[in-house]
Structures are given as structure tokens and as C-alpha cells.
Structure 1
Amino acid sequence: ETKAFQVDGQFDSAQYKSLLARAGLSPASYEQQLRYDLLNRELTSAIESSTIVSVSEAEHLIQLEQQKRDAAIGKISYQTFLDDNAVSDSEMKTYYENNMARFMLPAQVDIEYISLSVSSIAEKLTPTEEVLRAFYEDNLGQFMRPEQRKVSHILIESDKEAAIKILTAVKHRLDQGEQFATIAEELSQDTGSAGQGGDLGYIQKGVMEDDNFDKALFSLMEVGQVSEIVETSYGYHLLKLTDIQAVEQKSLLSVKEEVSRRYQQQEAEKIFFEQAEVLAELSYEYPDTLTVAADALDIPIQSTGFFSKSQTEIAGIAANKKVNAAAFSDEVLNERLNSAVIELSDQAVVVIRHKAYQPAKQSMLAEVEQEIRSELSLQYAQQRVKEAGETILQKIQQGGDPASLLSQYEWHTQQTLSRREQPFSYEILEQLYRMQKPLQSPNYHGFIDDEGNYIILVLYSVITPEKQKLTEADRAELLPYLEQNQGRSELAAFINSLKESADIAIIQP
């Protein structure tokens, strides 16, 4: 059923083998991988779909979700302790000498190259009015506005049984004379269109990216007609056809820019494939120069500037993994030959050759002095903020006043906080909600957050609301969501158990 393997809607063995060969796969290896993927999908689906969350569990989870905590929060920023001047020259020198391998500059190359792309060729094409008119008339089908249908819908996102029950009742109400738009405003779960009576505007085939939706909409014969219940990837619908705009031929004047762009693209693709062959032939026949190919194709020779094999921030073609690998290959780096044609995309290629080389070398202390100073300053700041935070936390636990002890830092006084309270980070609130409920006196907790700051939490009380009974609508909406999340958790636990029980050996090269 894979469309890429089909010709005229039918599976084609030659197409199948050709596409696999381009991807470096044999039919046997591809089919084995496909079997593995299907088995893996079946196992995943079996675990995720077998989870059941009871109504009582759901009510308890909602109760926990709505729980609030009465707390105060202090923050000691590591930046308070940053001080480059605190790092002595001797400390910096010692760090440099102990980490010299880290301050090695890797080998670098500078390459020259000629590139060829459809876009660069298209930019040079300037078609005349006569050429554009001829192209337009030869391709009238490309410049037609397809049929568009204006549609309103009522969407129900519940499970199939509940959705069909609701939409069947809607059909009955429509038969009794109620307005489609009124019911859509009342029941449709598409929040984007419900307020407009379910109006989705004008739609052409393919826009909704759902075959069932298109089939149902474009099978309606008359304006005002309502479809039967339609199941799509979005949920379950009733569709009402409210207008039809027929196919319309666009004039050359109205689509002149599009005609020009399509002509340039089509012609540029033809020229590109012709020139790519010339580039491959000449760069191979004259392996010690790019000049011959550049002159024949009227393409400038460019250079990248120096870059290393492991460098992450590189501009231009050197950022391409294939180009980077070729630049450091034995053929280009040592034998000084032109590379083979490198495909950057299906519409761009390049040939490179060596220009200059810089061997790896040790950075001098003076060159990395500021980097070392900043790093040591950060290490000292992280150490000092931890010491300061732990000292203040200990004093608070011994009866000290948190507001006074944290007066020179950031202090948020006692307040009631939900699980998603702004402006506190998810990390802080997660730590707060892990703390045990205090009995007679507040509970205290300190930790280093992801940014390196020391956070002090003071929990005074836990506020838990009364458990609320779920309505039928809440159950239909909430239980599938909770079961899906629980299923994912159980799948993750299953995978972790397999990892723990597996006998894994790591062989170092």
C-alpha cells in the first residue's frame, strides 16, 4: 500500500527495488525491518491499550491535580557569586596545565568548490512574454482554480459509540426543523468553528488531509444537504454543504508571476540535470583542478574558509555532513583530488577540492585565558551558592526567619500555589509538590535548580479539595486521556525492566 512503490496505482516491483537500492537497502533487509516494526507496534499497542483507569482513580487524580500548597520560596542566584577577579593567575595556569588536551585546536581545512543548483539556474532565466504565453497555453490545467465547497460541520471527539449516539440525535433534531448552525454552536467540539455555527469556509479536495472527509463532502449533491455520520482522523462529523464554487480557468494576467515561476523551475530542472552530468565528467577527467568545469559551466569557484571535522557552528556548505566527510577524506585531503559529485539535495550538488590545511595545535594560555577564568569563576560561584544556601536553610530549620535570612536575595512570601503557578518554573513546583504534608510546623527543602541557583522551599500546609463526582461527559473525555497516559507509563516501565534484565556488553574499540 506504500504509494512510493506504486506506478499508476499498482505495486511495481522494479520501482520497489530501485527505491530500496537508492536507500542502500535490499528487499530482504527492508522486509525484515518492516516485520520488526510491525511486531514492535503490536507490542506497544497491546500494552498501551490494555490499561484501565477506574472512575474512582480518575476522581482521585483530579483531586490531586486540584490540590494547592501554602508555601514561600527563596532563590539564591549563583550569579551573585560570579567574580572573575577571584581567580588567581596561578589557579588559571594550574587548570590549563591539567587540561591541556581540552585546549587543543583540531586540524582544519579550507576547501574550494563549485556548486550547482536548480534555484541558482532559475534566477538567471528571463523568459519573454511569448515564451510565458506558450507555456501557459500548454499547461492550462496547472492554472485552474479547482472546485471549492463551503461547508459547516458538527464535530464530536468522543468514542465511537457515544459520538454516533449524539450525532444520531442531532440528525433527528435537524429533521424536526432545528437550524444546523444553532446545534453546532451548542454541541460541536471544534472550538475554532463552533462559534460561527460550524462554518469551515471554502474547502478544496486535500485541504483537510483526510480521505473520508473529502469523500463525504464532495459526494453531497445539493447546497443545504447534510451528510451521514462521517468518521475521520479528527473525530465524528455531520457535514452541511452551504455553497459550491465551480472550477474556473485563471487568466494569464492574474497568474503571470506563477507562470513565470513554474516555467523557470521546469526549465532550470532540465538544465540542472544536463549541467550536473557535465560537472561530474569534467571534475573526474581533470581531477587536479576545478577550473575546467567552472569555465565550461560559467560557475565561480568559491572557498569555505578554515573549519574542523568536529566543528559544530559552521556556515555554508561546510555544515553539510557529506561535504565535511569528503573534505577530510584521504582522496581529497591527502591525494589532492577533486571529490565525487556530492548531492546536497535533489536539486543541488557540489564538487570540492583541497585548498589549504592547518594541523592540530596547542592553544597558548593567553589565547584561552578568559575562557578558563570564566569557567573557574563559575565553578567557584556554584560552590559558594551551595554553601550559602545550605547555611541559610540550616538556620531556618533552627528557627531563623526566612525573610530576614534571604533579604539580600530573592524571597517570595507565603502564598497559595497551584501546580502550574506563574512565575515559578515547573522544576520548582515539582519539588514543592514532592514535599510531605507538614504536621505541626513547616517543612523545609533546599536544592540546586537546573540553572545552578539554590532554591529554598518552605511548605506551611497542603490544601486538598473535596473529591468531586465525574459526570458522564467528564468520563467520556477524561478516562481515555488518563488511560493513554497510564499506558505510556506502563510501556516505559516495561522497556526499563527489559533493559535491567538484559545482559549487555559494551565492547570498547
Structure 2
Amino acid sequence: MLFLLIIPSFMLFGIEGYTRFNDSAGKVAVVNGKPITQAEWDNAHRLESDRLRATNPTLDVALLDSPSLKRATLERLVRERVLAAAAADEHLMATDARLAADLERDPTISGLRRADGTLDMDRYRQLLAAQGLTPEGFEANVRHEISSRQVLEGVINTSFASQAQVDVGMNAFLERREASIARFAPAEFAARINPTDADLQAFYQANLGRYQAPEAATVEYLLLDLDSVKKSVNVSEQDLRTYYDQNAATLGTPEQRRASHILIAAPKDAPAADREKAKAAATALLAQLRQAPATFADVARKSSQDDVSAPSGGDLGSFQRAKGVDPVISQAAFALAKVGDLSDVVESPFGYHIVQVTGIQPAAVPPFEQVRAKLEDQFRTQAAQKQFSDMAEEFRNGVYEQSDSLKPMADKLKLTVHRVENVTRSPAQGATGPLANPKFLSALFAPDSVSKHRNTEATDLGGNQLASGRIVSHSPAHARPLAEVKNEVRAAFIQQRGAEMARQQGQDRLKAWTAQPASATGLGAPLTLSREEAQGQPAALVEAVLRADPTKLPAFVGVDLGGDGYAIARVDKVLPRAEQTPDLVKQIRARYEQLWGVAEARSYYDMLKARYKAEILVPNALPTTTAAAQPAAGAASR
């Protein structure tokens, strides 16, 4: 049937028609006549989501799929294509020197340099390979980014604003005004509002979005970690006894010895005759000491050529075997049987030594019963580390092959099936283990897992931890019943109706006071307001005060504060901007020039978008700017 349907279609339309159809269907934007496809958009957003998750592990996973973030990714793609087209047309390129300088500023890459300043290429390749990149591909991307940046850098870095422009703009921005304010708060009208059940039902239906119960699920999960593997390790008494015997030396305090030495110096690169002479001197001293071992300290002070130990009679202090002293001396000291014994003449790179043991502290090994618990934990840990990789492979295969239940794998590996209710897509506050891991939750709420209640694939949580889970029951996001939220609905209704009454009274007062200024009563004490010092007043009110016509003062302005009610301000006079120090004036000018450069770059980018016919073809799901907010945005850009 498919053959009969498809072949005539190719005969009528041809392969090229199908190609054009597929390109058109997957096209989300166009720049310079070249499409950006849905697949490119999805891939770019996936990479951006991965980057955000890596830098902020606690980020709400649902936020990454929000329309605003997806739209931002698409706009960034369009911007990159526009700037790349402009860079190509303007023949902007990144030289090797510019590339090297840019990479040098990257702290991650600069941290790979050796002590001599050269780059450790092996670590550099490993770093890039972990991100699926090669050095050639990565450096090509960086060159591309540098070329694109140059398009706007030329505008930003050459922007200039005269002092007159700075004064006009900043004087207006930093201007202060004196105003008296009257507030009409919703709470003042709450006592007059007594909603009926019908009122609450209508309000509830009109605002169902406020009373949504989030998506939640009852889940089961298995966690395979080192602790769970340790629990499955069988330990017999004989195993522990054998382990104790093999590790007795590490369980207590190792043997320590105190020794003194006499050195007759003869560096290893000294002539053979000199070394023989030094050896003969050491042999003569040893013969003398064997006759009177108790005189060792006196002989060392007189004859030893070790300037450090000779003043203290050759004393080297206490040390463990092969630790703290030259290995030759350590070996000689531990070869002696008892305190006071003398070694033969021993040779080292420094010359010839005579060693005397002056103290022995035997090794102290605790009895088996005293360290049994510690031994068992060590034994289990070592055995678990050997078993974990094999069990991890079995875990991965098992939860996939028996995807309708976790119990078979739990029984096989002696793991516990954990059951938790009200699990959401984002980690709950205070969550631990797999349910605190966004990657695991993302797999748990994948469409296949939600609809078919299948086990997730084993998720690597790091630190020798693997987890798999399944959804037992799923509750999609839904409106909570009115009976459950009636108190919330009532409070919100009273708040909204109070705000409406406050707004109406405020508008009536504004109209009356504007007609008869002398009738204005209830205004607060005069305040000095500016954009830098709002005196605790709402930003919209401060903006309205500063926008009042300065040629018609005193003047009344009213501002709808939404849920906070209404406010009226009587603007009495304009005050000049406060005096500023020379340093502050300099900072203000630098800030103005920076903003001016950004504005010019934005304007230049808009021109490039028009030149290269950049167009986003998918509708914008974000709310549009309201008409009331547009004048403020225009003023800010000016």
C-alpha cells in the first residue's frame, strides 16, 4: 500500500519537491536566505540546557523548557547567523595572535600551562574530548566567534558622547523633585467586601491557573552504591582472621628505633683514593668503639663530619623503618638486635657511617577482638570495590531487560526498593539521593516512563552510584477543587476587589484635586524623590513624578499600583541634581558612554537584521509589552 501511494507521488512532484517540502516544514527562521531548522534550534537549546545544568545543578529542570528560554535560544541563533554574515562580507578574520590571546584569557585553558609557560597539549586534548571536541574544531569555533564579535566591537569601541550630551541626559536622569503622596491601599476597603459563594465560584473559574496542583508521581527507585554492595558481601570469621594476620603491621603502631651515627665524609664523586682513605678512618673508629661502645657520643662529637648531628653526639632521633632518615642508615639500624649494638661500616653517597641503636620501641598490634569491627568494614569495602563494576553492569542490563518492575533486580542484588510519594520534576527542598539529582528526575519524567511506567535506564549519579526508577502512579497538573482552596480564593477576591475600590477612589480624588487643588487633603509630608533615591516609593510612582510637566507645577499625577492599590502625588517643584565629586562625575560619564555604545550597537544590529533579511518564522509565545509600559521603555532608550 505504501509503495502504491509513494511511487505516483514521486512521479508527480519529484524528489526536489519533497526536499523543498521538508525544508519548509522544519524551518523556524531565515537569515540571508539560509534557513535555521527546527533540528538546529532543538540541538542548540539542548546544548544550552546542558550548560546551564552543569553550572547550576539545582536549577529547576522545567524552567529549561520554558517558552522564554527556548525563544532566547532561537534569537541567539539568529544573532550568530547575522553577525557571521556581516563578518564574512566585511572580511573580518581572527589572526593566530588574536586567537592565542583570546585563549590565554580563558582561565580553564591558561590553567593547563606548565611551569615553563608551554601548554600541556595532552591535558588540552583531554579537556576538549570530554566536550566532544577536537583542538582543530574548537579553535575554528573560537576564530568564528572572534570574527563575529568584531562586527559590533567596532561600533561599541568607537562610540562617543560629548559632555553636552552627557549633561543633558544625566541631568534629566538624576533630576530630583519634591512631592507629597497619598496612598489608597486595598486593605482599607477589606471590611466593606463580603463575597457570596457565587462570587467566589466565578472568581475561582476565572483564575484556575492560580490554583493548580503541580504534576506529581508516586515513584519507586533502586540505588546501587558502594554501601549497598558492602551489605551484600559475606564475611566469615576465618576471612577476618586471615585479613588480620596479613595486615597486622598496619593496624597498630609500627616499630620505631632511635639511633646515632658517625659520618666520615666521602662524596660519591670523590677520587677512589680519597674514598678508601675515608673508609679506613671509619674502620679504625669502629674498632675503637667496639672496645668501648659507651663512648659513641663522645667519639661522634669529636670525629663525625655530619655538622648537624655531631654536636648532639650523632643523635638522629626516632624513626620508622625506611622513613625519616637515609635508607642506608635505616636499614643498618633495624638490622641490629638490641640497644647499644653497633653496625659495621656502611656506605652511602655521602661517605661511610657507623650506626648505633640507642632505643627500640616495639610495634604495638592491638588484639583481634579490639579491631574486629574496623577489620570487617575494611574487608567489606575492599571486596565491594572489586565487585561494584561487575554489579553495575548487571544492574544496567537488568533494569533495562526487565523494564516493568524493579523487584527482580532488587532481589538479585539484595537492594532495597524505595517508594516515595509526591515526587515532582524538580528536586524538593531537602531532597537527598537520586531524588535530588535533576538528571535522574528528568529520566524519571520522560514521556515513555510516565505513560508506560517503565524502568528508567541506569543513571550515573557520580561517586560510584547508579540509580533506576519507575513511576507507579502519575497525577498530571490539575486545578485543586474549590472546597480545598476556598480560603485562598476568598482572600484573593477581597484583595482584588479592594484594589479595584482603591483605584476607583484614587481616580475620583485625582480628578477632584486636579480641578480644585486647594481641596487636596491627606497628603503626606513632602519627599525628595529621584531615580537614585526612591525613598521607599514604588518605581512606577517615582517615574510618574519625574515625568510630570515641569512648566505646570504644582501638578497631580496618579498611578495604578495594581494589587497595591493606587497612589496620587502632588509634584511641587523641581530640584537640581545633587552635587557630585569629580570621581563620581567621571564614573557617570563613563557609564553614559557605555550605555550609549550599547544603544548604538543595538541599533547597528537592527540594521544588519534588516540587511540580511533575518526573520523568525515561529510565533512568539511570550506576552507582548503593554501599551502602558512602552513610553517608559522609549524614554529609557532615549
* TM beyond 0.5: yes
The answer on whether the counterparts of 2:219 and 2:423 sit within 8 Å (CA) in structure 1 is no
User: Secondary structure of 2:550's match?
Assistant: coil
TM-score, length of structure 1 as denominator length: 0.56
- Once the two structures are superposed, the pairs formed by residues 355-374 of structure 1 within 5 Å of their partners are 355-358=472-475, 363-374=480-491
> Which residue, 427, 438, 444 being the options, matches 2:556?
444
Aligned residue in 1 for 2:126: 15
Q: Cα–Cα, structure 1 residues 475 and 95, in superposed 2: closer, same or farther, change >3 Å?
A: closer
Q: Cα–Cα, structure 1 residues 80 and 331, in superposed 2: closer, same or farther, change >3 Å?
A: same
CA distance in 1 between counterparts of 2:217 and 2:120 reads 50
Aligned residue in 1 for 2:418: 302
Aligned-pair distance for 1:349?
4.4
Aligned-pair distance for 1:37?
3.3
2:501 alignment partner AA: R
Specify every segment of 5 or more residues in structure 2 that has no aligned partner in the other structure, as ranges. Answer: 1-102, 231-247, 255-376, 622-638
The answer on whether the counterparts of 1:449 and 1:455 sit within 8 Å (CA) in structure 2 is yes
Aligned residue in 2 for 1:431: 544
The answer on whether the counterparts of 1:83 and 1:377 sit within 8 Å (CA) in structure 2 is no
CA distance in 1 between counterparts of 2:389 and 2:518 reads 76
Aligned residue in 2 for 1:480: 590
How many residue pairs were aligned? 361
**Deviation string, structure 1 residues 68-106 (Cα, Å, up to 9, x no partner):** 312112221223334695322112333445667886756
> Which residue, 215, 220, 224 being the options, matches 1:112?
220
CA distance in 2 between counterparts of 1:361 and 1:466 reads 55
2:546 alignment partner AA: Y
Aligned-pair distance for 1:390?
0.6
CA distance in 1 between counterparts of 2:490 and 2:252 reads 64
Compare relative contact order (CA 8 Å, sep 6+) and give the higher one, 1 or 2. 1
Identity in percent:
19
CA distance in 1 between counterparts of 2:544 and 2:571 reads 11
Q: Cα–Cα, structure 1 residues 37 and 98, in superposed 2: closer, same or farther, change >3 Å?
A: same
Q: Cα–Cα, structure 1 residues 400 and 360, in superposed 2: closer, same or farther, change >3 Å?
A: closer
Q: Cα–Cα, structure 1 residues 445 and 120, in superposed 2: closer, same or farther, change >3 Å?
A: farther
CA distance in 2 between counterparts of 1:398 and 1:269 reads 89
Aligned-pair distance for 1:347?
7.1
The answer on whether the counterparts of 1:448 and 1:455 sit within 8 Å (CA) in structure 2 is yes
Aligned-pair distance for 1:420?
1.0
Q: Cα–Cα, structure 1 residues 355 and 436, in superposed 2: closer, same or farther, change >3 Å?
A: same
Aligned-pair distance for 1:359?
6.4
Aligned-pair distance for 1:455?
1.8
Aligned-pair distance for 1:10?
3.1
Aligned-pair distance for 1:348?
5.4
Task: Verify: 1:71 aligned to 2:188, yes or no.
Answer: no
User: Secondary structure of 1:52's match?
Assistant: coil
Structure (1/2) with the larger helix percentage = 2
Q: Cα–Cα, structure 1 residues 97 and 507, in superposed 2: closer, same or farther, change >3 Å?
A: closer
Aligned-pair distance for 1:353?
2.3
Aligned residue in 2 for 1:285: 398
Aligned-pair distance for 1:487?
1.6
2:120 alignment partner AA: Q
The answer on whether the counterparts of 2:427 and 2:438 sit within 8 Å (CA) in structure 1 is no
User: Secondary structure of 2:526's match?
Assistant: strand
Q: Cα–Cα, structure 1 residues 56 and 364, in superposed 2: closer, same or farther, change >3 Å?
A: closer
Task: Verify: 1:398 aligned to 2:528, yes or no.
Answer: no
Aligned-pair distance for 1:461?
1.1
Task: Verify: 1:456 aligned to 2:573, yes or no.
Answer: no
The answer on whether the counterparts of 1:327 and 1:352 sit within 8 Å (CA) in structure 2 is yes
1:80 alignment partner AA: E
CA distance in 1 between counterparts of 2:518 and 2:569 reads 13
Q: Cα–Cα, structure 1 residues 432 and 118, in superposed 2: closer, same or farther, change >3 Å?
A: farther
Aligned-pair distance for 1:393?
0.7
2:510 alignment partner AA: L
Aligned residue in 1 for 2:344: none
- Once the two structures are superposed, the pairs formed by residues 194-233 of structure 1 within 5 Å of their partners are none
Whose Rg is larger? Answer: 2
Q: Cα–Cα, structure 1 residues 402 and 85, in superposed 2: closer, same or farther, change >3 Å?
A: same
**Deviation string, structure 1 residues 407-443 (Cα, Å, up to 9, x no partner):** 3xxx42224344414233444323322222144x411
CA RMSD of aligned residues (A): 4.8
User: Secondary structure of 1:306's match?
Assistant: strand
2:575 alignment partner AA: I
The answer on whether the counterparts of 1:340 and 1:351 sit within 8 Å (CA) in structure 2 is yes
- Once the two structures are superposed, the pairs formed by residues 250-399 of structure 1 within 5 Å of their partners are 275=388, 278-286=391-399, 287=402, 288-291=404-407, 300-308=416-424, 316=431, 317-318=434-435, 320-329=437-446, 331-344=448-461, 349-358=466-475, 363-399=480-516
Aligned residue in 2 for 1:236: none
Specify every segment of 5 or more residues in structure 1 that has no aligned partner in the other structure, as ranges. Answer: 123-127, 135-263
Aligned residue in 2 for 1:43: 151
User: Secondary structure of 1:74's match?
Assistant: strand
Q: Cα–Cα, structure 1 residues 305 and 74, in superposed 2: closer, same or farther, change >3 Å?
A: same
Q: Cα–Cα, structure 1 residues 108 and 488, in superposed 2: closer, same or farther, change >3 Å?
A: same
CA distance in 2 between counterparts of 1:323 and 1:296 reads 22
The answer on whether the counterparts of 1:117 and 1:272 sit within 8 Å (CA) in structure 2 is no
The answer on whether the counterparts of 1:84 and 1:373 sit within 8 Å (CA) in structure 2 is no
TM-score, length of structure 2 as denominator length: 0.46
1:446 alignment partner AA: G
The answer on whether the counterparts of 1:116 and 1:272 sit within 8 Å (CA) in structure 2 is no
1:38 alignment partner AA: I
